[in-house]
Structure 1
Amino acid sequence: VRKAIAPAIPDPPSHDRIRTGPSRHFTDESETVALGITTMGLQKSGIIGHSDGGIVALRLAASRAVQPEFVIAVGAHWVLPENDPARQIYQTITLEKWRAMFGSQISVYNMENPDPDFGKLFTAATQMWLGCDEDAYPGASVKNIRCPLLVVHGDDDMLVSRQQAFDLTEQVKGARLLNLPFAKHTLLEDMPESVLPFLQDFITRVTI
């Protein structure tokens, strides 16, 4: 993968490079990443984002705060309707359940941060996931995306439906959809050998 790619945007529940105040939104994360890209001189770069990171990548491209060469959004919602099954999951997930499912993520977080407070981070993240206003998911603004977009979806993703990924692809002119059978929400971690060749091919095609 070529050097012009910006660092992949991580999924916030595994790190603390975020705002954990009472009003945390995806717009806050987008502004933080845009500042980082500008500061590091990575304007001529592509963005790969997974889950929350994918939502941030979509918001960035739609707002045109930066002009990425391409965006790859993996397992990312562009809208979250009130009747979306994922919203019910977010409403019922607890810190204890998260620890049981992603204990290794929390261990990494605790090791990397001098003053870790995963409970505070988790509360802020769940509030952000359940957001409904203009500071939450990008929604119809994705129509403003002008750079090449690859939507990556795992067919067994319990959070992001196949229809959600398809609809996002239909909203953005020229967007491509990669739907991988038997893949889960964590497909980049679970099966990188199956996913990365497609990502590399997409990047090569759109950056020639």
Structure 2
Amino acid sequence: MATVCLVYRAIVVNNSLGRCGSLLRNFQRTTLRTLSSDVSQHYQEVNGVNIHYEKTGQGNHTLLLLPGALGSSQTDFSPQLSGLNRDKFTLIAWDPRGYGKSRPPDRDFPKKFFDRDAEDAAQLMKTLGYSKYSLLGWSDGGITALLIAARHSSALRKMVLWGGNSFVAEEDIKLYEATRDINDWSERMRTPMINMYGEEYFRKTWEAWVDGISRYWTEFEGDICKAELKNIKCPTLIVHGQKDPLVPQYHPDHLVANIKGSKLINWPDAKHNLHLRYADEFNKLVEDFLSQ
């Protein structure tokens, strides 16, 4: 495997082959934002569910933004919807079923629930008439992006993912369990989610998420999509915050070693929410990659 290192306030690794209280204080989400006048809200029926999404921009390069666990366009992608070049890009930011404004139904977590999210997202884009697009996936949205890229490769132009993983390890389960009780979360992290969902829904859904992702460990030997990484053909940029308390380094290392032609950027000072904390730099990184 050929490796090249560059400096971009981070370390860039090229691969030619191919989530405790202290942790929670480091994991942040933005507060709910007031929509800009040029960001429109829509609903589209997909696989029997009314899916909410936001749209902005008029560029000929379409981007689908995929949020993290319990995330939505409003909680997860404000700096991208307002900051990415809307002359070059058309941005579609969706709320997966049971998240954000894609309710009802209430969110559940059946076996291999990421597969359902991936098929919903791919069907959304097909129904909206987008035959070619790129993916921006954060955290759980990064996992969803991997599955879309592996199973719908002909529709993909490029992919950027951060905070995602293709498998669950025993160490990961311990990190997830440490987040189960939302009373242990920092006020800054808990409040926007309560504002979005109400405390009861937020609490029960987060506990169900912990149970759901843990089943990948107990029932599928931790495998989410490891075997499918070889099917990803699109140019892929992986960004990793090296102070991420939720995603250990072995996850991005595995991705870059198994997605042919992918590139890994290790961001030394960044945590899980690097696209929010370093929004301007992150947006430039994304635009540069997508424009190559």
Q: Common fold, TM-score beyond 0.5?
A: yes
CA separation in 2, counterparts of 1:174 and 1:65? 15
1:44 aligns with 2:137: no
Identity %: 26
Question: Which structure shows the bigger proportion of residues in strand conformation?
Answer: 2
Cα RMSD over matched residues? 2.6
> How many residue pairs get matched?
200
1:194 aligned to 2:278?
Answer: no
Alignment match, 2:232: 145
Per-residue deviation, 1:161: 1.9
- Taking structure 1 as the reference length, the TM-score comes to 0.84
1:102 shift after superposition: 1.4
SS across alignment from 1:46? strand
CA contact (8 A) 1:128 1:136 kept: no
Residue deviations 1:41-94, cap 9 Å, x none?
122110101000000000111122762111111111111122xx3220112322
Q: Kindly tell me: are residues 39 and 171 of structure 1, through their superposed partners in 2, closer, same or farther at Cα, counting changes over 3 Å? A: same
Q: Which sections of structure 2, spanning at least 5 residues, go unmatched?
A: 1-56, 73-94, 99-106
Look up the match of 2:178: 92
Could you list the runs of 5+ residues in structure 1 that have no partner in the other structure? Answer: none
Match of 1:180 in 2: 267
Structure 2 counterpart SS, 1:131: helix
SS at match of 1:170: helix
Which of these residues, 58, 75, 78, is aligned with residue 166 of structure 2?
Answer: 78
Q: Equivalents in 1 of 2:289, 2:192: separation in Å? A: 29
Deviation of the 1:163 alpha carbon: 2.6
Q: Where in structure 1 do 4 or more consecutive aligned residues deviate above 6 Å?
A: none
Q: Secondary structure at the match of 2:266?
A: strand
Which of 24-33 and 117-126 deviates more? 117-126
SS of the aligned residue for 2:254 comes to helix
In the other structure, the counterpart of 1:121 is 205
State the structure with more CA Rg. Answer: 2
Contact 1:159 1:185 (C-alpha < 8 Å) held by counterparts: yes
Distance 1:42 1:127, change over 3 A: farther
Q: 2:70 aligns with which of 13, 25, 36?
A: 13
Q: What's the TM-score, normalizing by structure 2?
A: 0.62
Secondary structure of 2:240's aligned partner: strand
